[in-house]
Structure 1
Amino acid sequence: MLWLACAAQFMVVLDVSVVNVALPAIQDALGFDAVGLQWVVGGYALVFAGFLLLGGRLADLYGRRRVFLWGLALFAASSLAGGVATTPGLLIAMRAVQGLGAAVLAPATLTILTTTFAEGPYRTRALATWTAVSSAGGAAGNLIGGVLTDTLTWRSILLINVPIGAVALFAAARLLPADRARAEVGKLDLPGAMLATLGVGALVHGVTQAGTHGWHAPTALVGLAVGVAALAAFAAVEVRYATAPLLPPRLVRMHPVWAGNAVMLLAGACFIPMWYFLSLYMQDELHYGALTTGAGFLPHTLVGIAAARSAPAVMRRTGPRTLIVGSALLSAAGFLWQSRIETGSGYLDGMLGSGVIMSAGMGLLITPITTTVTSGIPAQDAGAASGLMNATRQIGGALGLATLVTLASTTADTTASYRAVFLAITAMCAGVAALALTLPAPHDQDER
């Protein structure tokens, strides 16, 4: 159960970053412009984020096994269609459908763990393994994408999901216990899911337009206004009208849930865009090919996995809140170092040391946040809580990527733009540490 959930989560997270090193090849092959190219990454992340609440609630209403199989099948099918796409529009559309499949699948993986392992050290270790695999997927995506793009073609980074998905479907059908539907289809909160996706999408579009045309541009103002209005409507639907809300109000009122998700939102804005900009830096500034760029992420991958695996042992000594604060500050130090790159900096003096520190902080950070957010959640709401945590992380990543791309576009000097981006992420990591102080005090006896 643990390794099946981790394998599916690895595939979902892998596809957030696997296209990063292939972006130049995709741009040349299909004729993308710079803004459209961002949506090869952002389209997946955006739909993934917007529908995670629905995906999480599906697991509660219809059963973890059934929803897990649905998500796997949709993810594999859209990967096949994206891998044979011949136009920019079709590729972006299939990446969006991939995001929908991932939004159904990812909460089910976490729900399987939180309902299989009781709270305490066993669940903490299971979540640490899940986090380590997630970190490995995010970092290994760059390496795997580089190898496949260099040795085969950029299309292989999507087509490889088809045989993997088929094997995972067979394993899930054999290993996961059967479950029964708990509710009728009419109780699904589809209006809430659509409003959440519209709100996040409009906000990201508004920020992107502001970077291209200025904050006073009508397209930017309309996007931001529609985003705020849609999210306000989503809140109203959840509180007053939904018979089976995607986000039950009782969850939001729980202190660990609202505070932990606020921390996760800002953390996502730091770490998800990190892979995008580091990949472009190696290719634009260091002139690495796809394979060399992927290999350049190997230290990040190994350090992130090691840090995530060590998080339970550290957390037993410090408590979740202290570990979150310390690891966020450690990441901030790494990003600050990264922001000091100069024109002509190489890999060893410009990326390696800072990358190790950033990855160590990231690996230590996610497990204590996940443990905090999922503690004390009743079984019937485990899917909703899992969907919310995954959603806040991905929403933070989508908004963070759009904002940082906007920031990078304000200067024509490439090195200066990268420095500004990494300095901004430094400030956001410091914000994560400050926000973590709102988390509830640790209960050492629960961790022991």
Structure 2
Amino acid sequence: MQSTKSIMLTIIVACQLMVVLDSSVMVTALPEIGRTLHLTTANLTWVQNAYILAYGGFMLLGARAGDIMGRRRIFRAGIALFTVASLLAGMAQSAEFLLAARALQGLAAAMATPSTLALLSVSFVETKERSRAIAIYSAVSGGGGSVGLILGGMLTEWISWRVGMFINVPIGIALLIIIPKYLQETQKRTGHFDLLGAVLSVTGMTSLVFGFVQAAAAGWHHTVTLAPLAAGIVLMAGFVAVEARAKEPIIPLRLFSSRERSGAYLGRFLFICGNFSLFFFIPQFLQNVLGFSSFESGLAFVPFTGVQFGMMYVMPWLVSRFGSVKILISGLVIAILGTIWCSQISTGTSFFPNMFLPLILMGIGAGMVFQPLTAFGLTDVDPGDSGAASGLINVAHQIGASMGLAVLSTVFESVYRSSSPSAEQFAHAASIAVTGSAVFLTTALLVTLLMLFRPAAKLRSE
């Protein structure tokens, strides 16, 4: 029985790792992709955002599909589509083809990922084993991005960035073979798909992100910036209105009735806004300013990755000893300090100790944040809403990555284009962008203090 559960957890984690890797495996290859396809720094963000927006935008529809059609069935369908899309991305000969394939990968990930956390929540019910399973899942969700940086840099340097896409193919095939043997189909529910809500959420978020990217290229007062931003606000308002009236919404608004859950979703969004953007700017700083190769810039994240995954083994003890809220607050403070330290980069910066030590602090902080946020996001969720709740956790993660990257790339471009491009100017712009990351993390800390800390204190006093 225990071995079967271990295999189940391995399948769930392998899927999560595969889709998380793809949000970052291209990052260390971006300078090479930009040179090959003639893309600016701002436009390069779409290599990430085409994937992330489709991923986050369709996540809740994927969760709903799992509830209605069976989570194992949608899980397998998502893995199959992801495998095909990865093959197409690796074969891309133009920027347009690559972006289309990346969007298809995002749609596939949106089908598979909600089922992973939902299957985990219903398969591991005993407190201790569930805590361990969530710790492993959270470590992979948080640390998989930095693993992708290392892997992407290694493959780009030694072979080709395309191999970062091709490696998903054998993994996907293996998962498709073993899933029917170890994962049981969940009970199906009758219902309907909230297609209008899904379309409004995807188009609304895409419009907002497009507006921020255009601000980086054309400025804030240009029509191509203001029009998509206005459209995004209107579409997202329409999305909320539709969800409030829909009989079977993709986001049941009752999920926000809990202060803890709402704080966890918002806190995760803000943390990822700051944390994920570091994976975009730091590798480019290392390559464009310090002269690192793709592989070396990926390898530079080993300190971050190593300590973040290492925290997986101590988190269950830390949470049981000090409580989730204290660990979450401590992790955020450590991550903020590391990010502020890292924001001091310049052309005279040496990797050791000026980046090595901050990356360790940032890794420790991130390793302490994701498990409590995941657990709070699932607090007191009705079994019928487990798919939507797990989907919402991942939506906050992906939309945070996309929105943070869009906002901070705008900050970067506004500084970088203010004078003649140079290594000094690039370093200064990257420093400002990393400072922006620290601002996002600090806001996440404030949300935690306001929405999670006080309820926990109240519970202890009762």
TM-score relative to the length of structure 1: 0.95
Deviation at 1:443, TM superposition (A): 8.6
Amino acid at match of 1:414: F
Deviation at 1:120, TM superposition (A): 2.7
Show the counterpart of 1:263. 267
1:203 matches 2:215: no
**1:319–1:442 CA contact under 8 A, matched in 2:** no
Deviation at 1:336, TM superposition (A): 0.7
Instruction: After the TM superposition, list the runs of 4 or more consecutive aligned residues in structure 1 that deviate by more than 4 angstroms.
Output: 443-446
| Aligned partner of 1:52 among 55, 59, 64 | 59
Deviation at 1:180, TM superposition (A): 4.9
| Aligned partner of 1:295 among 290, 296, 299 | 299
Deviation at 1:262, TM superposition (A): 1.0
Can you list the C-alpha shifts for 1:62-105, whole angstroms capped at 9, x where unaligned?
A: 22211110110111110011111111101001001101111111
C-alpha separation in 2, matches of 1:56 and 1:316 = 30
What count of residue pairs does the alignment treat as equivalent? 443
Q: Which moved more, 1:405-414 or 1:82-91?
A: 405-414
**2:19–2:109 CA contact under 8 A, matched in 1:** yes
1:426–1:34 Cα change, 3 Å: closer
C-alpha separation in 1, matches of 2:458 and 2:70 = 33
Amino acid at match of 1:148: L
**Root mean square deviation, CA, Å:** 1.7
1:261-340 alignment, distance < 5 Å: 261-340=265-344
Percent identical: 34
C-alpha separation in 1, matches of 2:349 and 2:259 = 45
C-alpha separation in 2, matches of 1:106 and 1:271 = 20
SS of residue in 2 equivalent to 1:397: helix
C-alpha separation in 2, matches of 1:399 and 1:314 = 31
C-alpha separation in 2, matches of 1:256 and 1:57 = 23
**1:321–1:441 CA contact under 8 A, matched in 2:** no
Can you list the C-alpha shifts for 1:317-359, whole angstroms capped at 9, x where unaligned?
A: 2222222211111100001100112322121133100000011
1:193 matches 2:193: no
| Aligned partner of 1:216 among 196, 221, 243 | 221
C-alpha separation in 2, matches of 1:427 and 1:332 = 8
1:76-155 alignment, distance < 5 Å: 76-118=83-125, 120-155=127-162
C-alpha separation in 2, matches of 1:396 and 1:178 = 31
Amino acid at match of 2:93: T
Show the counterpart of 1:441. 455
**1:319–1:443 CA contact under 8 A, matched in 2:** no
1:375–1:121 Cα change, 3 Å: farther
Deviation at 1:135, TM superposition (A): 2.9
| Aligned partner of 2:242 among 237, 243, 252 | 237
TM-score relative to the length of structure 2: 0.92
C-alpha separation in 1, matches of 2:154 and 2:298 = 7
**1:261–1:373 CA contact under 8 A, matched in 2:** yes
1:410–1:35 Cα change, 3 Å: closer
1:309–1:274 Cα change, 3 Å: farther
SS of residue in 2 equivalent to 1:365: helix
Q: Which moved more, 1:367-376 or 1:35-44?
A: 35-44
1:64–1:444 Cα change, 3 Å: farther
| Aligned partner of 1:174 among 155, 160, 181 | 181
Show the counterpart of 2:5. none
**2:52–2:401 CA contact under 8 A, matched in 1:** yes
| Aligned partner of 1:389 among 384, 388, 393 | 393
Show the counterpart of 1:71. 78
1:152–1:317 Cα change, 3 Å: same
Can you list the C-alpha shifts for 1:222-244, whole angstroms capped at 9, x where unaligned?
A: 1111111111111111111x232
| Aligned partner of 2:347 among 343, 356, 363 | 343
SS of residue in 1 equivalent to 2:415: coil
**1:192–1:245 CA contact under 8 A, matched in 2:** yes
**1:189–1:246 CA contact under 8 A, matched in 2:** yes
Show the counterpart of 1:62. 69
SS of residue in 1 equivalent to 2:381: coil
Show the counterpart of 1:427. 439
C-alpha separation in 2, matches of 1:74 and 1:396 = 24
**1:256–1:372 CA contact under 8 A, matched in 2:** yes
**1:215–1:221 CA contact under 8 A, matched in 2:** yes
SS of residue in 2 equivalent to 1:409: helix
**1:208–1:402 CA contact under 8 A, matched in 2:** yes
C-alpha separation in 1, matches of 2:13 and 2:440 = 28
**1:119–1:375 CA contact under 8 A, matched in 2:** no
C-alpha separation in 2, matches of 1:169 and 1:97 = 18
Deviation at 1:183, TM superposition (A): 2.3
Can you list the C-alpha shifts for 1:393-440, whole angstroms capped at 9, x where unaligned?
A: 211111110111111112231111111112121122121111102126
1:255–1:215 Cα change, 3 Å: same
**1:20–1:279 CA contact under 8 A, matched in 2:** yes
SS of residue in 2 equivalent to 1:13: helix
**2:304–2:360 CA contact under 8 A, matched in 1:** yes
Structure 2, gaps ≥5 residues long: 1-7, 417-424
Structure 1, gaps ≥5 residues long: none
C-alpha separation in 2, matches of 1:277 and 1:294 = 12
Q: Which moved more, 1:352-361 or 1:274-283?
A: 274-283
